[in-house]
Structure 1
Amino acid sequence: MIAPAFAAPGRFWRGNLHAHSTLSDGALPPGEVCRRYAAEGYDFLALTDHFIGRFGYPIADTKPFRSNTFTTLLGAEIHSGAMTNGELWHILAVGLPADFAPGDAPGFVPVPGQETGPGIAARARAAGAFVAIAHPQWSGLTLEDARSLEAAHAVEVYNHGCFAGADRADGFHMLDLLLSEGRDLSAVATDDSHFTEPDHFGGWVMVKAEENSPEALLAALKRGEHYSTQGPELRGIDVGSASIRVECSAAVSVIVQGAGSAARAVHGESMTRAEIPLGRLETSPWLRVTVVDRAGKRAWSNPMRRAA
């Protein structure tokens, strides 16, 4: 079985799905945020300002900043309702329509009677958005919280801003638990950039599509035809009955993870191909791959669910 991102037609496009501007709590105006991502070699950006009343419920119109080599997806970080810890939900919604209806979320503190997080997430997905559980470690998200967000397409597994500002970047534990309960979810790495600290150009997605258009990119995200990275490249993944074959840029470690504690790794020098025996991973209903380069930077595949 060839992983979907490598079986799909087209080429890979580099993009960041989580960024903020002066329309909410970012330091730079939308046009400058877009300019910087384009200048750094990104193919696309979703500017996702905080969708709360304090900022006028913004969905940034980034269409004027598109070019023949750079595009944008409309989106927002949507908020409503309280998580188990009493704090406000943070949910990433990429591909929102510009007229997406606000809830009653005046600020960063939940208020009585407002729409729930799962409720606003379901509305966003129904409106056509790609929905991700944002920074679960940073938020203090519980497994019960995550289970309730049934509209999610993905989990934000690496958030560079949460790494830089809180050392709470991780979402893999939450993803793995949900996968083992039977959820079909993909993984995304993002910046969550505000340009107020070194929170930018640190994690991104590589999306496989036939063209760099908002429509093609959004459809590919929803199909799981992408991988996430801090720099290393994934070039092919083929899951066999007894082993998994991985092609990548030069790596020192290639690791396969599965349900529970199941994992296998190979280590070497400047590896661009690796074949990892599955062993006890053969009974795992899902697998995912991590590649680590000499600098310690990582690339992560989407989970691959195996036939029963």
Structure 2
Amino acid sequence: MGMRAFQAPGRFWRGNLHTHSNRSDGGTSPEAVCAHYRDAGYDFLCLSDHFLSRFDFPVTDTRPFRRAGFTTLLGAELHADATSHGELWHILAAGLPEDFEPTGKDEDGLALAQRAREAGAFVGIAHPQWSGLTIEDGRAMAAHAHSVEIYNYTCDLETARADGTYLLDELLNEGYALSAFASDDTHFKYEEGLAAWVMVKAEENAPEALLEALKAGLFYSSQGPVIEGFSIADGEVAVECSPAANVALVGRGAKSENQWGPNLTQVRLSSERFEGDWFRLVVADAAGRLAWSNPVRLD
């Protein structure tokens, strides 16, 4: 999954999958949210307002705000009972139909996620650290999700609980095939976002092509670093990237390989210790900003 994005046809498109408007608890209009990302040079946006009865279950229609070079995916952040803490699930669903039915009275989070997936959405487990999700929660939702939110900017600002790697890696250890996405989760109350995004490989910047690529794992995530090449041959992983201070492969337990140094742009790392298992690529620049590949399995 993680390397196929770099061999697939097309080009990379920059997008944010998780953010909010005043259709739910955001601080500005859908039109202004779309303009904010478009003006910042993003290629696409999924506006994921909270799908709750108090907001009239919005799947916010952003189609009127598409422009040449900028498109949108319809979506929402879905909620239903109950995590292991007795709290609502937070489930990202990008690519929902506009007429996605409101959450049923007795519909739990797992059934809601599965219904979104069957409706064609890319389904993500949102901010697992912020929610305090356990491995049991992860196992329950992993059968219905495509991806885990590996970094959430607003959770970082508000609670310093932005990381999803602990849950993703435990689920990878158990054999689940999940990708990893980063996002802003911006609400436009005090934060402007533009701090974490996905780079999706597709032949065109169109909703259907982007959605198909997301579900196939043809993307990587970043806070700034650019991954230009990622391949493997003869037991060696080759990475090409924007200037980095650390390029690392991380896997099960403490398994890792890395190269550290100033202005790294081409790195070769052994894949030997990951044979029969999995690894992820993490690129860090001198400012500490990260980029993450999707997982690679060598089993």
After TM superposition, the score normalised by the length of structure 2 is: 0.97
Q: Which runs of 5+ in 1 are unaligned?
A: 105-112
Which letter maps to 1:127?
A
Indicate the SS of the match to 2:212.
helix
Q: C-alpha distance in 2, partners of 1:6/1:118? A: 32
Is 1:236 aligned to 2:229, yes or no? yes
Q: C-alpha distance in 1, partners of 2:145/2:2? A: 24
1:2 to partner: Cα distance: 8.4
- What is aligned with 1:110? none
Indicate the SS of the match to 2:99.
coil
Q: Cα deviations across residues 142-180 of structure 1 (Å, max 9, x unaligned)? A: 110111111100000000010111111000010001011
- Contact kept in structure 2, 1:245 and 1:274, CA below 8 Å: yes
Question: Percent of counterpart pairs with the same letter?
Answer: 54
Q: Cα deviations across residues 38-78 of structure 1 (Å, max 9, x unaligned)? A: 01110000000000000000010000000111000000000
Q: What are the within-5 Å matches in structure 2 for residues 245-284 of structure 1?
A: 245-283=238-276
Q: C-alpha distance in 1, partners of 2:132/2:234? A: 38
- Contact kept in structure 2, 1:192 and 1:199, CA below 8 Å: no
- Contact kept in structure 2, 1:202 and 1:230, CA below 8 Å: yes
Indicate the SS of the match to 1:248.
strand
- What is aligned with 1:211? 204
- Contact kept in structure 1, 2:235 and 2:271, CA below 8 Å: yes
- What is aligned with 2:281? 289
**1:98–1:2 CA distance, 2 compared to 1 (3 A):** closer
Q: What are the within-5 Å matches in structure 2 for residues 153-164 of structure 1?
A: 153-164=146-157
- What is aligned with 1:9? 9
Q: C-alpha distance in 1, partners of 2:203/2:108? A: 37
Q: What are the within-5 Å matches in structure 2 for residues 84-95 of structure 1?
A: 84-95=84-95
Q: C-alpha distance in 2, partners of 1:36/1:89? A: 28
Q: Cα deviations across residues 160-205 of structure 1 (Å, max 9, x unaligned)? A: 0101111110000100010110110100000001011225111000
1:117 to 109, 122, 138: 109
- Contact kept in structure 2, 1:256 and 1:265, CA below 8 Å: yes
Which letter maps to 2:207?
P
- What is aligned with 1:66? 66
Aligned pair count reads 298
Which letter maps to 1:36?
H
- Contact kept in structure 1, 2:2 and 2:220, CA below 8 Å: no
Indicate the SS of the match to 1:122.
helix
